[in-house]
Amino acid sequence: MLQVEGLAKRYGEVLGLRDLTVKVDEGECLVLLGRNGAGKTTALRCMAGVLLPSAGTVRVDGINAADDPAAVRALVGLMPEVPGLYERMSARAYLDHFGAIYGLEPLLRRRRIDELLETFELTDAGDRWLGTFSKGMRQKVALIRATLHRPRLVLADEPTSALDPDSARRAWIYLKDLQKDGCGLVICTHSMEEAEHMAGEIGIMSDGRALAVGSLDKLRRRSGLKRRRVMRELPTLQDIYLSIVGNLGSNHDGLAETRTA
């Protein structure tokens, strides 16, 4: 569904992204982890056909984003980190506006909007101006907007960062349901819990590069971290992440991790 090969993006003199190669099949989820400025947002924008690659290719359902970016954007639902809602519009009117942009028929979009507002417990707030919404509510509306047209691929930049645990869990369930329907997911997050919960594959990025891409088990093997001494638990994704980006101390959070020789 999504094939990214040797993707690079240059902003003037700055190389924002270099040589990224990842693949997401139908119903799969790729989670991108990395520090701020690691290139995750740039990667999402390129995958969404919003920015054109400086080098490499992005294909969504076989369509090259450089050849037909508008067709790629129609197949994709992008949820940016900042919801970017129109303050003086009600949630319903706002979603209806974007439904119309994606070419959904009025009756269909009304039905979907009602369903999704109910899923995210926003039915009662649906006719209120978005300017009166809390941060979490805005994020929910942004997620609904990105998925309203049932995209083939959802690209979400920190989709649950402003949500309370219960709402976050609800959002994960919703995204998992989309996955079951064959939708591919690419999620950027700083939440290790979210990453472990959602990911089939995990990409760890730093300075515009993918340092490692693979399943949790594969990354665990690659990190060379042994089981924790205390409780004999497997190293968590947090441990693996810190190990790969090179910030892991020998005694982190009181847990004595050791590298294999």
For other proteins, the closer of residues 35 and 86 by Cβ is 86
Minimum CB separation of residue 154 from other proteins in Å reads: 12
For other proteins, the closer of residues 1 and 141 by Cβ is 141
For other proteins, the closer of residues 71 and 234 by Cβ is 71
For other proteins, the closer of residues 142 and 192 by Cβ is 142
Helix ranges restricted to H, the chain: 40-47, 69-75, 91-101, 106-119, 135-147, 165-180, 192-198, 216-223, 237-245
Q: Please give the helix or strand (H or E) that residue 230 lies within, else none.
A: none
For other proteins, the closer of residues 14 and 231 by Cβ is 14
Question: What are the φ/ψ torsions at residue 225 (nearest 5 degrees)?
Answer: -80, 135
Minimum CB separation of residue 226 from other proteins in Å reads: 39
Tell me the CA end-to-end span of the chain in Å, nearest whole number: 39
For other proteins, the closer of residues 103 and 249 by Cβ is 103
Minimum CB separation of residue 65 from other proteins in Å reads: 12
Of 148, 160, 216, the C-alpha closest to 187 is 160
Minimum CB separation of residue 191 from other proteins in Å reads: 21
Minimum CB separation of residue 155 from other proteins in Å reads: 9
Of 239, 244, 242, the C-alpha closest to 209 is 244
**Residue 129 identity:** W
The residue ranges that bind other proteins (CB under 8 A) are: 9, 11-14, 16, 45, 48, 50-52, 70-71, 73-74, 76, 78, 80, 82-89, 97-98, 100-102, 142, 145
Minimum CB separation of residue 10 from other proteins in Å reads: 9
Distances (CA, A) of 128 to 37, 95, 121, 146, 188: 35, 13, 14, 20, 30
- Cβ neighbours for 102, distance < 8 A, ≥ 6 positions apart: 74, 148, 149
